[in-house]
Homo-oligomer: A and B are copies of this chain.
């Protein structure tokens, strides 16, 4: 069937939008699991996906704290997940009903100047929309704009938990931390922050065989996890104490790459104080405030500092490494809930330290 023939198929009658359940944001501190109308195709390039696996991101907690004012009351949250294509718009040639798909947290039109240079994060009609400026994946169904360039087909029977980790945190850790940090064989890399995103950075940094991987955090449990995932040095400290320890570990030289994976001035400061001349500071964290950059010292230090909203250009590569068994992102999943228990899942994830929670998975029945 050609694309133009597809246009002739009469649309399914939509007498009345069927209801579904979804996790809805109602302003700072307020969320509920409630009825919402099922999404429908609006643009020819849309797809509607039935969500089978979703997860909660640290960003969702930021939203609930009111840190992301661009999220409106009534918005369905969630930008990660795996699902089954339910319906496709007339211009969607690459997917059909029944396909198992990975949903990218970044929507990309594939046509604008930013998309053409691989900067999907700044797509002129996409970017980070899901669970932000349009309804997201913590629901029974979700509408995906620019479906053909924003979904990835999975083999039937794929490990959905593993692939759901590729919606956001693995591309984020890899692109913002590892690629931007230019991690190379033999490097000494420090990752400041051992949360899910720091741990995803830790796992993907190993694609490039650094000699040393130093993990810095205050949470002993998370550091223990980091140790089991390949960190070669664990620094249970913060601030100048952490700086001192990292410099000791590197005989005063500092690190080739410092990854900021928290998003506050204090951890950024650790990074700028431990980076060696010629080194890179790769910012991954979502910041709410300016930081003080020590240019009076760093101007002569030959450093590179990068920032990045994930582009998800590396998703196909990450999928290959999951399929070949070289990457096992499901190692970060600590808790599982039915989608209907998403309210409880948020409680657990919101108390990550106490619950020893990393990634919390939501499965639909």
* Interface size in chain A (residues, C-beta < 8 A): 84
| Complex alpha-carbon distance, A32 and B92, angstroms | 40
Pick the residue among B6, B96, B285, B295 that contacts A2 (CB under 8 A): B96
A7 touches B291 (CB 8 A): no
| Complex alpha-carbon distance, A317 and B317, angstroms | 26
Number of copies: 4
Q: Does A161 contact B (CB under 8 A)?
A: no
Q: In the complex, what's the smallest C-beta–C-beta distance from A140 to chain B, in angstroms?
A: 22
A44 touches B186 (CB 8 A): no
Q: Does A201 contact B (CB under 8 A)?
A: no
A45-B91, A207-B208 are contacts. A119–B4 as well, Cβ < 8 Å?
A: no
- Interface positions of A from 297 to 346, Cβ below 8 Å from B: 298-309, 311, 313, 316-318, 320-321, 323-324, 326
A94 touches B111 (CB 8 A): yes
- Dominant secondary structure of chain A at its interface with chain B: loop
Q: Does A263 contact B (CB under 8 A)?
A: yes
Q: Does A90 contact B (CB under 8 A)?
A: yes
| Complex alpha-carbon distance, A289 and B297, angstroms | 8
Pick the residue among B149, B186, B290, B316 that contacts A295 (CB under 8 A): B290
Q: Does A224 contact B (CB under 8 A)?
A: no
Q: Among the interface residues A96, A299, A305, which one has the most CB atoms of the partner chain B within 10 A?
A: A299
A304 touches B304 (CB 8 A): yes
Q: Does A294 contact B (CB under 8 A)?
A: yes
B321 touches A211 (CB 8 A): yes
A111-B149, A121-B302 are contacts. A44–B324 as well, Cβ < 8 Å?
A: no
Please, could you name 21 A-B residue pairs with CB atoms under 8 Å apart, sorted by A? A1-B88, A2-B43, A2-B93, A3-B93, A6-B93, A44-B91, A119-B278, A122-B277, A185-B317, A211-B320, A212-B324, A287-B295, A287-B299, A289-B296, A290-B292, A290-B293, A291-B293, A298-B307, A300-B307, A304-B304, A305-B306
Seen from chain A, the residues whose Cβ lies within 8 Å of a Cβ on chain B are 1-7, 9, 41-45, 88-94, 96, 110-111, 113-119, 121-122, 148-149, 180, 184-186, 206-209, 211-212, 232, 263, 268, 277-278, 283, 285-296, 298-309, 311, 313, 316-318, 320-321, 323-324, 326
